[in-house]
Amino acid sequence: MAIFQLSAKLGSSILLGSIANHPLLALLIPLFAYGFILAVYRLFFSPLSDVPGPKLAAVTRLWILYQDYRDQRTDTIIDLHRKYGPVVRLGPNEVSFTSTSAVKDIYTGSGRESGFPKGFLYAMFTHYGRYNMFSSLTSEAHSWRRRMIASSYSLTNILNREASRGDIWRTVGEYVQYVQREGTESKNGPGRSIDIYPANIYFACDNVSAHVFGEERGTKTLGSLADNAEIKLQRDSIDDWYVPTRREKIYLWTDFNFALRCFEAFERTTQKVFRVIQRRVDPDSKYIGGTFLHNYAYKNMRELKDRPSLELTVAKNLLSGKVSGKASEVFDEFGAASESMDHMLAGMDTTSDTLSFLLAMLSLPEHYEYQETIRNSLPDLPSFDQPLNVADINQILNNTYLNSVIKETLLIFPAIPVTLPRVVPSGGRVVDGLWLPAGTLASSSVRAVNLTFLPEFEKNPGNVQWKPSRWLIESGADKDRVQELERRLWSFGSGGRGCIGKHLALTEMSLLLAAILANFKIRRDEGDALETPHSHWTCRRSFRDIAYLQDFHGFLRFEPL
Ligand code: HEM
């Protein structure tokens, strides 16, 4: 006993002596002690301590940030759900869910409670320093914006607009002409080859811009090489449109809020300086600095404000300022431009990527039969200068075979596969029987929700096949299974913050696919190892951290029927 007392005394006097000699130790020891106590708390006493997941993730947020840094967030989350089940702890303060009940509680709300507010990540999607519907975090900031334009994106409006104006169908015709005009002759068979990635971007861009600003002001990038040369020039560095420093590794940025704010303030100030200089040189200038798209959206808004167009467009709704009489919440031209800019960005990549993945899959020899089946099920299609009527559009939209390939692509290759972050509101909430304190990040990852339900995922997660036949109801027994699949398909999100452009995207994709298959057989054309200038199949990082189809370089041959 005396020996113990002596050694304890000796130990503490050595320690005190060392601290006196090394002041750094005086700092480090309490720090280590604090770190240790925090780690013990997070592991064993935090309200989330029973949630399964990697121990390191429970102790420090650096673990998930490292996955973000490696662009491995989505794949890591999927692996974790496979290992631990439908609820997984991703960080001391972050939990991921995959069950339909949890997705409903978090994103749609349950009972009288609405869905959870968005996480800070979304605040990065402001433009011109103004929030928009997508970037507003709380339901208060969001709902008046959404109400103002929701009718422009309803299925009824998309159908009626298309039947009366035929804008999408005309753009589909331009796509077919683009193949004939821009396509190169192929050594591998009849027809012409194009790189489908830019073609699909042009298609989606022309459609969403016409929908937002009106046909006259739409980008018409498919139309001719001279039009909107900036978009053509930037096609190979598409990330430039997004201000890449903010869009790459976006989840990492959320933890560096202050740096981001400084960056934004700097960006706004330089743009203001640009504007002042530009207006000195040219008093009528509508140039505002920033990217081509920023200028395009702002210029259109300014002009539409001065000379309103008769066409019923999203821009018209934005500028009309009718928001339940709340004057302070009406858009000014920058707010309206920010909103429209966001629709352009949200509607371009997502729709075009989905189309690219879909065409890439259909062009494989083992999938030729799907092309044939869809072709045989299509109605007679009119020429492209004549709008389709509502019944024809509906027939295409409800075509079982066409739907099966579109849904399967959305399921296996969601354009936005990542976590859609939400924050538990004040007072805390129970999700899937688990108590979550206020401020917890409670979210789901689109790809994890889509995949973890599939039986083959359990067996071999690395080998989930693109299999449109899973959507077909061939016997009574298939009905429940397909209904469940429909319920699980989460590629457009859900609830009040779910995708507003869903019907526009589905109409664009369905009409284009119908026209392509009615006119061509599509085949891979990569035999000559054609040089693809773009690397966006693998490097696009705006809201996608998975590089799908890395071995496919983008060239397809369109063989006329
Ligand atoms: C295949 C195509 C598309 C996919 C897969 C897709 C996916 C999504 C997803 C997953 C969300 C929800 C994000 C969240 O909850 O955090 C979303 C929201 C949104 N999408 Fe889409 N989208 C597509 C096409 C479009 C198009 C064509 C537009 C055109 C305007 C658009 C505009 C928007 C907007 C504005 C929001 C934010 C809605 C809000 O916050 O209320 N999207 N989209």
pLDDT at 295: 81
pLDDT at 397: 97
Report how far ligand 1's centroid is from the alpha carbon of 498 (Å): 6
Report how far ligand 1's centroid is from the alpha carbon of 511 (Å): 19
For 442-493, what is each residue's pLDDT tens digit? 999 999 999 988 988 888 877 889 999 999 998 888 899 999 999 999 999 9
User: Does the Cβ of 544 fall within 6 Å of ligand 1?
Assistant: no
3-state secondary structure of 523: strand
- Stretch 299-313: mean pLDDT: 85
**Residue from 124, 444, 499 whose mutation best tests the ligand 1 pocket (most atoms within 8 A of CB):** 499
Residue 247 pLDDT exceeds 60: no
Q: Which amino acid is at 38?
A: L
Lowest mean pLDDT among 25-34, 55-64, 355-364: 25-34
Residue 122 pLDDT exceeds 70: yes
Lowest mean pLDDT among 35-44, 296-305, 420-429: 296-305
- Stretch 334-346: mean pLDDT: 90
Contact assessment for residue 539 and residue 239, using Cβ atoms and an 8 Å cutoff: yes
Short-list 368, 365, 396, CA closest to 380: 396
Ligand 1 nearest-atom number relative to CA 508: 27
User: Does the Cβ of 415 fall within 6 Å of ligand 1?
Assistant: yes
User: Does the Cβ of 493 fall within 6 Å of ligand 1?
Assistant: yes
pLDDT at 120: 87
pLDDT at 236: 42
Residue 453 CB coordination number (10 Å): 20
Element (H, E) at 148: helix 139-149
Residue 502: exposure state from Cβ atoms within 10 A (0-12, 13-18, ≥19)? middle
Report how far ligand 1's centroid is from the alpha carbon of 418 (Å): 13
- The pLDDT confidence band at residue 241, using thresholds 50, 70 and 90, is very low
Ligand 1 nearest-atom number relative to CA 509: 1
Lowest mean pLDDT among 1-15, 56-70, 86-100, 537-551: 1-15
Q: Atom 40, ligand 1: which residue's CA is nearest?
A: 134
For 364-395, what is each residue's pLDDT tens digit? 999 999 999 999 999 999 999 999 999 999 99
pLDDT at 526: 73
Residue 246 pLDDT exceeds 80: no
Of residues 92 and 542, more confidently modeled = 92
pTM score: 0.90
- The pLDDT confidence band at residue 245, using thresholds 50, 70 and 90, is very low
Task: Give me the helices (H) in 387-434, please.
Answer: 390-397, 400-412
Q: Atom 43, ligand 1: which residue's CA is nearest?
A: 499
Element (H, E) at 522: strand 520-524
d(CA 536, CA 247): 14
User: Does the Cβ of 172 fall within 6 Å of ligand 1?
Assistant: no
pLDDT at 233: 47
Q: Atom 20, ligand 1: which residue's CA is nearest?
A: 499
Residue 111 pLDDT exceeds 80: no
Q: Atom 18, ligand 1: which residue's CA is nearest?
A: 499
Contact assessment for residue 116 and residue 429, using Cβ atoms and an 8 Å cutoff: yes
Tell me the C-alpha to C-alpha distance, in Å, between residue 189 and each of 196, 480, 561.
17, 43, 13
Contact assessment for residue 211 and residue 171, using Cβ atoms and an 8 Å cutoff: no
pLDDT at 244: 43
Q: Atom 37, ligand 1: which residue's CA is nearest?
A: 134
Task: Give me the helices (H) in 166-222, please.
Answer: 167-182, 196-213
Tell me the C-alpha to C-alpha distance, in Å, between residue 528 and each of 406, 524, 537.
29, 11, 19
Report how far ligand 1's centroid is from the alpha carbon of 210 (Å): 17
Report how far ligand 1's centroid is from the alpha carbon of 366 (Å): 32
Tell me the C-alpha to C-alpha distance, in Å, between residue 168 and each of 181, 220, 355, 515.
19, 11, 15, 12
What does the radius of gyration of the chain's CA atoms come to, in whole angstroms? 27
Task: State the angle between helix axes of 155-165 and 390-397 in degrees (0 to 180), rounded to the nearest 10.
Answer: 130
pLDDT at 83: 93
pLDDT at 294: 80
For 170-199, what is each residue's pLDDT tens digit? 999 999 999 999 898 888 889 999 989 888
**Residue from 116, 158, 200, 350 whose mutation best tests the ligand 1 pocket (most atoms within 8 A of CB):** 350
For 196-235, what is each residue's pLDDT tens digit? 988 898 899 999 999 999 998 998 888 865 555 555 545 4
For 481-513, what is each residue's pLDDT tens digit? 999 999 999 999 999 999 999 999 999 999 999
Residue 542 pLDDT exceeds 80: no
Share of the chain above pLDDT 70, in %: 85
Residue 327 pLDDT exceeds 70: no
Contact assessment for residue 227 and residue 219, using Cβ atoms and an 8 Å cutoff: yes
Summary mean pLDDT of the chain: 85
Contact assessment for residue 204 and residue 219, using Cβ atoms and an 8 Å cutoff: no
Q: Atom 17, ligand 1: which residue's CA is nearest?
A: 499
d(CA 405, CA 514): 12
User: Does the Cβ of 210 fall within 6 Å of ligand 1?
Assistant: no
Of residues 296 and 507, more confidently modeled = 507
- Check the annotation: does 499 bind a ligand: yes
User: Does the Cβ of 346 fall within 6 Å of ligand 1?
Assistant: yes
Ligand 1 nearest-atom number relative to CA 314: 30
